[in-house]
Amino acid sequence: MPPKWGYNFWLNGSAGNPWLTSLDRRIIPGGGALPRFVSSNIAERPDQAAERDSRASRVLGRALSYSGLRPEGAETKQRSDRNKEPDAHRRRIIAVHSDVPFVTMPAPAPHPVLAAAGVTKRFGSNQALAGVTLNLQAGECLGLLGPNGAGKSTFVRTIVRRVIPDAGTVTMLGHDAGSPSARALIGYVPQEIALYPLMSVRENLLVFGRYQKLTPGELNAAIVWALEWAALHDRKEERVKALSGGMKRRLNMAAGLLHRPRIVLLDEPTVGVDPQSRERIYAMITGLRDEGVSLIYTTHYMEEAERLCDRIAIIDHGRIIAEGTRNQLVQASFGTEADLAVTLSDVSADAAAWLAARGARFADGVARFRVANPASDVAEVLAALRDRNLAVQDLSLRQPNLESVFLHLTGRELRE
């Protein structure tokens, strides 16, 4: 779980206390109990105010020291400055014992860890990206779906600057995507296997760790983590060319993420692997998510997107045409309607035009109808097809899913 933002006090007066402002916005790892400071305007005798201020200053000093915000010698300076203020304007801060439960308030509106705005790229006459705008939130897994040639991989490559966009911006935590600060934040696992086949598993990790400029100590720890994470410890001395396709995929991921980046781009990481290796890769991705890593995940498999992704963006012809959670996309495209798929044989051009006039989407011999009341609508569709002498070979009725949304929006299968 991400850390909670703590609000441990309330202040009177218009002037802000810089120490308290810093503590107010401090992330306290794991929550916990800290002193709660409550302001008061109750009239007090001067001796009461002095004693209370002294006590509050000591407790506040301990809290600031715990949070790492307080400089040496700051307590004396703050007490001196505060004593110069007129009594009428002095803050009244009463310290409560530190066993008071930690008070949490809702976090501020999240800022994206990655923000792309108006990204455009053209290769000759081909408009690969046509103004892509997309945000990735902290700890989120964002699925990027699209037919072949829709712009998925081009967009991912613009993020890591393997492709320079013609227009638009990409930033990571406020850093331009091409800056050294951004490169340190991001890890990229390409669709292609990018390994040295004649080197062993461990030697590949050593090389890629040095590419990331890890120190010897960091590199040794990273290799131990990577071999365990990818379940390759017992194969660490084996040459890459002797590994199975699934093992190469897992090593490909480990090599790209040795530096433990906060933002990870996975470009179809399960292509060409067996079901067992795919499940292992799913477990690796789940481990990253449990650590709070933010991911962009491109895939050709709908079930992967539904299983792994918090939010999904559909890209077609270089544009984001839909974005939201799985349920939001289904609701926006179909509402409460179901999807009726009827496989037909020998459909003429006239029959195809008639199907389109009835609101059906016809492709590859399958006519798809949206029905609000299946009990009556299915019978009506079948009767109409019979009257047109259209032979029905198969029929299926299902609630719309992500694949239904994709077909509805793009008119194409995802693997086309």
Instruction: Kindly write down the DSSP assignment for every residue of 21-39, as one continuous string.
Output: HHHHT-B-TT------EEE
Check whether 354 has a pLDDT greater than 60.
yes
How many other C-beta atoms are found inside a 10 Å radius of the C-beta of residue 118? 13
Q: What's the pLDDT band for 361 if we cut at 50, 70, 90?
A: confident
CA dist 120 and 129 (Å) reads 5
| Tens digit of each residue's pLDDT (9 = 90 or more) over 27-64 | 333 333 333 333 333 344 555 545 545 554 554 444 44
CA dist 311 and 235 (Å) reads 35
Q: What integer pLDDT is reported at residue 1 of this predicted model?
A: 44
How many other C-beta atoms are found inside a 10 Å radius of the C-beta of residue 181? 11
Going 322 to 311 to 401 to 150, the CA torsion angle's sign is: positive
R_g of the chain computed on alpha carbons: 30
Let me know: does 158 contact 119? Beta carbons within 8 Å: yes
Q: What is the largest CA-CA distance in the chain?
A: 100
The residue type at 128: A
Check whether 187 has a pLDDT greater than 50.
yes
Cα 301 to Cα 154, 201, 293, 297, 413, distances in angstroms: 19, 28, 22, 11, 11
Residue in 203, 208, 206, 199 with CA at minimum distance from that of residue 239: 199
Does this model's pTM top 0.85? My answer is: no
Q: What's the pLDDT band for 315 if we cut at 50, 70, 90?
A: very high
- 338-345 and 391-398: which strand pairing? antiparallel
Check whether 398 has a pLDDT greater than 60.
yes
The residue type at 203: E
| Tens digit of each residue's pLDDT (9 = 90 or more) over 234-255 | 999 999 999 999 999 999 999 9
The residue type at 150: A
| Residue 307 CB partners (closer than 8 Å, separation 6+) | 282
Could you write out the DSSP letters of every residue in 36-82? -EEE------HHHHHHHHHHHHHHHHHHHHHHT-PPTTHHHHHHHHH
Sheet holding 319-324, edge to edge: 186-189, 263-267, 294-298, 141-145, 311-316, 319-324
Q: Which residue has the tokens 């963006």?
A: 313
Residue in 148, 142, 146, 152 with CA at minimum distance from that of residue 121: 152
